Amino acid sequence: MKFKVWSKRNVIVILAMVALAALIITPVAAKGFVHAPVIVVDGVDYFMAGAPDGPNGATDIPGHSWIQTGPDRVIGKHVNTGPFGAPSWWTSDAPDGELLFKVNGIIDTWSPEKAAAYAEMGFVHYHELVNVETGKKHPTKVVWLKHTARTSFFFDGGPHPELAHYVTPGVDFNFIPNGMMPYDPNE
């Protein structure tokens, strides 16, 4: 049986890759999921638009917590809790605080072509970003969101109870589907 002897160069490359991965992953993982985090977009600090129920009045989508995983990516958890801790706000079918969705987000501009392409991948909802300093919406970018359900429930609450529907495990293609509506930062 022959064993391949690793060269010094191979060992150094592998160690460098492990060190680089640790430098990237450790700060993200150390912060953990946070409600109303600062999201940096093109060097500027933003919050998700929503209720001012985060630390020091920071805004966010009720029941969501996030980690920014790259310059144009966020991942989140969506639990059954509303603004300012309102219990079982998103669905009457699950206990308060229960994990309803895993959320993937892509920070990008809106266009009809992008809306169609993102919708095919399950990103049927976008959310606005609000400048931390000025309170104004980002002039061109939104966060495209894909909600992947962890369990089955009747989605009958939240900000749009008129969009109630049954949810089963997997991508929810009916999650507040505003993706085809043009983004206007002045609205």
- Structure tokens of 6? 């690793």
CA distance 35 to 178: 23
Question: Burial, 64: exposed, middle or buried (Cβ in 10 Å; 0-12, 13-18, 19+)?
Answer: buried
Q: Are strands 125-131 and 165-167 parallel, antiparallel or unpaired?
A: unpaired
pLDDT value of residue 14 = 61
pLDDT digits (tens, 9 = 90+) for 74-100: 999 999 999 999 999 999 999 999 999
- Whether the Cβ atoms of residue 25 and residue 33 lie closer than 8 Å to each other: no
- Whether the Cβ atoms of residue 123 and residue 40 lie closer than 8 Å to each other: no
Classified as helix, coil or strand, 24 is helix
Find the mean pLDDT for residues 55-74: 96
Q: What are the residue ranges spanned by the domains of the chain?
A: 33-171
CA 83 to chain centroid = 17
This prediction's pTM:
0.83
Query: Phi and psi at residue 109, in whole multiples of 5°?
Result: -80, 165
Which has more pLDDT, 178 or 30?
178
Query: Phi and psi at residue 31, in whole multiples of 5°?
Result: -75, -35
Across all residues in the chain, what is the average pLDDT?
A: 90
Least confident of 14-28, 82-96, 130-144, 169-183: 14-28
pLDDT digits (tens, 9 = 90+) for 35-49: 999 999 999 999 999
> What proportions of the chain, in percent to the nearest 5, are helix, strand and coil?
20, 35, 40
pLDDT value of residue 133 = 97
pLDDT value of residue 6 = 59
Question: Burial, 72: exposed, middle or buried (Cβ in 10 Å; 0-12, 13-18, 19+)?
Answer: middle
pLDDT value of residue 81 = 97
